[in-house]
Structure 1
């Protein structure tokens, strides 16, 4: 062994040939595993995963049914991935395919096929949306209809979905919303309480007339004289 090859005490060869301090308690096998891990991260993985993009197909997905770059296969993979995450309307899926650069003909074909087999169902989506958002957020018809339109649901389907909401249930939901918010307004003057509570209902899609009536009922139940309440909340 030449003087050049001798290992100085307490040192070892580093990854790039330089001498580095030997750390006790770290066996050579651990060092090899660490170097192997760095090598994989630096691109040394013998089987790197392909970069398929956010909406790209994955091995074993529907994209494997067609040749590489087949627009219909990519469209199927994109739609399946999005539908697995959450229900989507046809318009939402069409927009996702458009952003991916899928030709209109391929996109329409895939979307129609998904509709035929029930994977896309805007009527069911709208009905579930109304039920969930009314129960969970207390939204009224006007707000629910706006949300469905924003998701590309056709107007006739929107009307049918929101018309299923029972008007009496809508009123009871408004009352519960006011009851929950009422204690937090007790330090305010009566006109300010009316504006705050009725404004909260208006933002959730309730008509101004219904909002004022429900708020007035709640304040009268607190022994507010009716003559002290404003005629409107504007």
Structure 2
């Protein structure tokens, strides 16, 4: 006998659930636009939206404010809810920024300049961004860039083939550029790593 129930009762229950899903109206998801009815308490709707967003991933105040605006929550209600959640530290832009810097540096090997741009898109600028970026030193960036180049460099069939080497250099420098590293820095890293591999 397999692990599935073979009783007629179980089959009937499964069939009934499938029929209900197909035909019955679905209850609105808490914090969804369907909740924004004249009868709904706008504060409860806003709270549901914020909690739903925070349950999926850390968010900055700016991101949450944007989501509330998209859902039609008034500025007054949004500000009140976000202020309250900051008071109880469910929203903490400084901690969000520190976590974001660590995550993007570790998982994507991004340079500080690229992370700074991404933070700005999430509403984290000025001292908050600068303080969070202090976690990354020049040596951290150099080490991350070198590791990335080592992983992406391909052995040349003929190390003396200058055209192939130059093509690889351009490819690796462009890759580092997309990660936010300055061209001169990227070229220096690529040259050093390739020289070590020869």
Question: What SS is found at the alignment partner of 1:189?
Answer: helix
Q: Does 1:186 align with 2:166?
A: no
CA–CA separation in structure 1 for the residues paired with 2:141 and 2:134: 11
Task: Kindly indicate whether the alpha-carbon contact (under 8 Å) linking 1:57 and 1:74 is maintained by their aligned counterparts in 2.
Answer: no
More helix per residue? 2
- The 5 Å alignment of 1:152-231 reads 152-182=123-153, 184=154, 186-187=156-157, 189-223=164-198
How far residue 49 of structure 1 moved from its aligned partner, in angstroms, is 4.8
- Which residue number corresponds to residue 69 of structure 2? 98
Task: Kindly indicate whether the alpha-carbon contact (under 8 Å) linking 1:181 and 1:197 is maintained by their aligned counterparts in 2.
Answer: yes
- Gaps of at least 5 residues in structure 1 are 1-27, 59-66, 224-234
How far residue 51 of structure 1 moved from its aligned partner, in angstroms, is 2.6
Q: Deviations over 1:172-213 (max 9, x none)?
A: 11111111111x262561211111111111111111121111
TM-score, scaled to structure 2: 0.81
- Gaps of at least 5 residues in structure 2 are 1-7, 158-162
How far residue 89 of structure 1 moved from its aligned partner, in angstroms, is 0.5
TM-score, scaled to structure 1: 0.69
Task: Kindly indicate whether the alpha-carbon contact (under 8 Å) linking 1:126 and 1:157 is maintained by their aligned counterparts in 2.
Answer: yes
CA–CA separation in structure 2 for the residues paired with 1:222 and 1:157: 40
Q: Deviations over 1:53-77 (max 9, x none)?
A: 763699xxxxxxxx94111111011
- Higher RCO (CA < 8 A, seq sep 6+): 2
Q: CA RMSD in A?
A: 2.9
- Which residue number corresponds to residue 20 of structure 2? 40
Structure 1's consecutive aligned runs of 4 or more residues displaced over 4 angstroms after TM superposition are: 28-39, 41-44
- The 5 Å alignment of 1:62-141 reads 68-141=39-112
